[in-house]
Amino acid sequence: MLLKNKNAVIYGGAGAIGGSVARAFAREGASVFLAGRTLDSLTKVAKEIIDAGGIAEAAQVDALDPHAIEQHLISVMQKAGHIDISFNAIWIRGELQGQPLLEMPVEDFTLPVLTGVKTHFLTSTLAARHMVKQKTGTILTLSSSSAVLSGRDRRFHLTGGFSTACAAIEAFSRSLAGELGTQGIRVACLRPDAIPETWGTDPEIEKIKTYMEDGTLLGRLPTLDEVANAAVFIASDKASAMTGTIVNLTCGSIID
């Protein structure tokens, strides 16, 4: 088990990516502390993990509220003794896309940026303050291919403030890695492309899926399991030399 005896806090743990990563962490031996705004949804994920033989706990936490985040981290420390992994999978309003910038209200542009930067800053730095005392820990952030799309794809997707938010999260992750490396803390940002399992099924979405798959080297888009498995490896001691990196999980729609 790659994460045996590790404690992981996952923000947005009831979401598609957060839930998949939580299940994968638990399968690999981690005790998982799920945090988010909707306790019922978090509890369902925690129950699935427990029923499968894992260790999980759910808590209602506003990942934009520093006091709520810190109180939850203190609770985790009291129960578990240490925090080894922090992963933020909070939704940063990706639905506010599809409109030309010249027609977009400034609030729709700035909301993904402000949400994404604020929640990643808070959850990462507050966890890091506990990790610094331990001299060990891994912080995982979440971006998307939207941060570095080609010109063709920027014309097609009309990403609004979402792409700016993702680019900012990646820049923040690199800066944080630079500051925390000598304290024994690693920081990496997961950058998947769109994940079809999280989409609906109407005909327009199928057209978009075909367009996006045609732009990847693998001829397909990533799965939730692939993102979760990558998160497991990066959070494990097997990746102990990895920090300050943006992990390309785009199936080749982006070539670094």
pLDDT tens digits along 78-134: 999 999 999 999 999 878 888 999 999 999 999 999 999 999 999 999 999 999 999
pLDDT tens across the length of the chain (256 residues)? 999 999 999 999 999 999 999 999 999 999 999 999 999 999 999 999 999 999 999 999 999 999 999 999 999 999 999 999 999 999 998 788 889 999 999 999 999 999 999 999 999 999 999 999 999 999 999 999 999 998 889 998 899 999 999 999 999 999 999 999 999 999 999 999 999 999 877 777 888 899 999 999 999 999 999 999 999 999 999 999 999 999 999 999 999 8
Q: What pLDDT does 176 receive?
A: 98
What is the number of helices (H) and of strands (E) in the chain?
Answer: 8, 7
The verdict on residue 104 lying in a domain is: yes
Q: Can you spell out the DSSP letters for 77-144?
A: HHHHS---EEEE-----TTS-SS-GGGS-HHHHHHHHHHHHHHHHHHHHHHHHHHHHHT-EEEEEE--
Question: What is the number of structural domains in the chain?
Answer: 1
Beta bridge partners of 141: 189
Q: How many residues does the chain have?
A: 256
What CATH number corresponds to the domain at position 55? 3.40.50.720
The verdict on residue 139 lying in a domain is: yes
Report the predicted TM-score, pTM, of the whole model to 2 decimal places. 0.95
The verdict on residue 144 lying in a domain is: yes
The verdict on residue 253 lying in a domain is: no
The verdict on residue 42 lying in a domain is: yes
Q: At what angle do helices 106-134 and 66-80 cross, to 10 degrees?
A: 30
The verdict on residue 63 lying in a domain is: yes
* Tokens, residue 17: 């990516």
Residue in the structure block whose two tokens are 């900012």: 168
The verdict on residue 88 lying in a domain is: yes
Averaged pLDDT of the chain: 96
Instruction: Read off the amino acid at residue 112.
Output: P
The verdict on residue 161 lying in a domain is: yes
Residue 32 sits in which domain range? 7-248
